[in-house]
């Protein structure tokens, strides 16, 4: 530990570089969760999606990323095993950031939508189990993450499947699609506003409320979300009523008009998801970084949580945006175009299902990957049109990449841990 204290500034700068790499990987891979379906459904062009995502991801990460973060992400390891040797936690967290960052770069380059949370968790578990002791790992938590590979995609897929069927039955497969759209689209708008408000309050703004000691009861949150839903539905109904479509127009023209309405709705849900994602998942990069800075600056003391310097938050926010701009298009293409053909109404169904699943899983205390949730929702949308509508080769590659993520992060982390231990001890 003496070496780390004597070279504190150098070690912190190295850790910041690794934290930036991890944030870059989050931007390159995970931002497709919010924007991939919008691009695939042609509600937004790739350039527009990158601009919108950059604004809302940055706002979420920097403004609502949290002043305090748990130093051990997701409670994966017991920090008491490091009390006598805090330098091992520093080496381990540096190794975890570098390992997860590199794995996310590889996956993004290949267009694989993998979980950034699972990448950092696998890396932390790897160095702790092999470099310290297997008893330091909370194996129950690891098991629940593996279980989430099945539960959350299936739940999102089922919800998306039902939403697509309801849109087809209530609007698209009727004699007068546009008139039905005027009646039912405000209902979908209410649901979208309600769910996105819940996601934003419960996931995106929870740190802000906590920092300002604002106590919101569950009833308060649901009432606010319902109010947002009513406002969005009212605005939507007003705009739809202004669109004039002649009943004699052919159905194809009416379908196009209905899809335009869903396209606007998709953009609203995408912005909400991007803000919530930025605020929540930036912790995957700054959590380990905050742990490193805290241990070095305190002379070896390990706390359960650490104050996050706004400059560290800025590193995470900027890293996410640059990763999105440089490499984000590859994973966007996989989610939005390669799994199944998306239209605005199908893309909206996938986004609403993913947001709903995030809320359900959070309420039930289930670990969740937004990536796996959205992929499950897109699969559900495809299944509504039959198995032939899915590109099974792409689906297979995605599932393989999910299974590989935990061990890949762990193996890379173990290698880097021993390298850092050899160099800096």
29-74 pLDDT, tens digit per residue, is 987 777 888 888 888 888 898 898 889 888 888 876 654 455 444 5
Q: Yes or no: say if 416 and 129 are a contact pair by the CB < 8 Å rule.
A: no
Query: Half-sphere exposure of residue 221, counting CA atoms within 13 Å on the CB side?
Result: 20
Tokens standing for residue 414 = 């173990």
Q: Give me the torsion for CA of 369, 375, 381, 382, rounded to 10°.
A: -150
Q: Yes or no: say if 361 and 372 are a contact pair by the CB < 8 Å rule.
A: no
Give dist(CA 75, CA 77) in Å, integer. 6
111-162 residue pLDDT tens? 999 988 889 889 999 999 998 888 988 888 888 777 777 888 999 999 999 9
| Mean of pLDDT values over 398-407 | 91
Give dist(CA 236, CA 7) in Å, integer. 58
Distances (CA, A) of 61 to 55, 169, 272, 319, 322: 10, 39, 13, 10, 13
271-290 residue pLDDT tens? 887 887 787 778 788 888 88
Higher pLDDT, 128 or 253: 128
Instruction: Quote the pLDDT of residue 71.
Output: 45
- Which contacts qualify for 235-242: CB closer than 8 Å, 24 or more apart? 236/185, 236/186, 236/189, 236/261, 236/264, 236/265, 237/182, 237/185, 237/186, 237/189, 239/264, 240/181, 240/182, 240/185, 240/186, 241/182
Instruction: Quote the pLDDT of residue 300.
Output: 73
Instruction: Quote the pLDDT of residue 163.
Output: 93
Q: Yes or no: say if 75 and 137 are a contact pair by the CB < 8 Å rule.
A: no
User: Taking all residues of the chain, what is their mean pLDDT, rounded to a whole number?
Assistant: 85
Tokens standing for residue 154 = 């299936």
Give dist(CA 353, CA 51) in Å, integer. 24
* Three-state secondary structure call for residue 70: strand
Q: Which residues pair with 307 in a beta bridge?
A: 68
Helices (H), 168-212: 177-199, 206-211
| Model confidence, pTM | 0.85
Q: How many other CB atoms are found less than 10 A from the CB of residue 329?
A: 21
Q: How many other CB atoms are found less than 10 A from the CB of residue 134?
A: 10
């Amino acid at each position: 530990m003496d070496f780390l204290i004597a070279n504190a500034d150098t070690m912190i700068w190295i850790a910041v570089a690794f934290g930036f790499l991890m944030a870059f990987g989050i931007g390159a891979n995970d931002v497709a969760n919010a924007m991939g379906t919008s691009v695939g459904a042609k509600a937004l062009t790739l350039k527009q999606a990158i601009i919108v995502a950059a604004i809302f991801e940055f706002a979420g990460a920097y403004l609502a990323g949290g002043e305090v973060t748990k130093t051990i992400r997701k409670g994966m390891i017991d920090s008491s095993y490091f009390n006598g040797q805090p330098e091992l936690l520093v080496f381990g967290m540096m190794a975890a950031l570098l390992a997860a960052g590199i794995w996310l770069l590889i996956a993004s380059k290949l267009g694989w939508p993998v979980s950034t949370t699972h990448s950092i968790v696998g890396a932390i578990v790897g160095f702790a189990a092999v470099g310290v002791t297997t008893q330091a790992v909370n194996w129950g938590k690891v098991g629940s993450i593996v279980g989430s590979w099945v539960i959350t995609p299936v739940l999102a897929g089922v919800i998306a499947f039902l939403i697509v069927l309801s849109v087809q039955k209530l609007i698209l497969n009727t004699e007068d699609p546009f008139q039905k759209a005027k009646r039912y689209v405000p209902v979908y708008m209410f649901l979208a506003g309600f769910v996105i408000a819940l996601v934003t309050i419960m996931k995106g703004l929870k740190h802000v409320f906590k920092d300002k000691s604002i106590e919101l009861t569950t009833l308060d949150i649901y009432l606010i979300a319902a109010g947002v839903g009513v406002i969005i539905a009212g605005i939507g109904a007003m705009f739809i009523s202004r669109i004039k479509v002649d009943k004699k127009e052919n159905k194809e023209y009416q379908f196009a008009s209905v899809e335009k309405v869903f396209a606007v709705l998709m953009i609203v849900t995408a912005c909400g998801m991007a803000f919530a994602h930025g605020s929540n998942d930036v912790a995957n990069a700054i959590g380990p970084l905050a742990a490193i800075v805290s241990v070095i600056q305190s002379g070896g003391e390990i706390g359960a949580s650490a104050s996050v310097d706004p400059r560290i938050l800025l590193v995470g926010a900027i890293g996410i945006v640059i990763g999105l701009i440089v490499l984000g298009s590859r994973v966007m293409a996989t989610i939005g175009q390669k799994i199944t053909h998306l239209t605005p109404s199908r893309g909206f169904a996938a986004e609403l299902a993913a947001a709903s699943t995030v809320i359900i899983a959070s309420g039930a205390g289930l670990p969740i990957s937004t990536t796996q949730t959205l992929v499950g929702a897109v699969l559900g949308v495809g299944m509504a049109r039959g198995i032939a509508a899915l590109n099974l080769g792409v689906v297979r590659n995605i599932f393989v990449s999910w299974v590989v993520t935990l061990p890949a992060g762990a193996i890379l982390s173990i290698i880097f841990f021993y390298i850092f231990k050899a160099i800096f001890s």
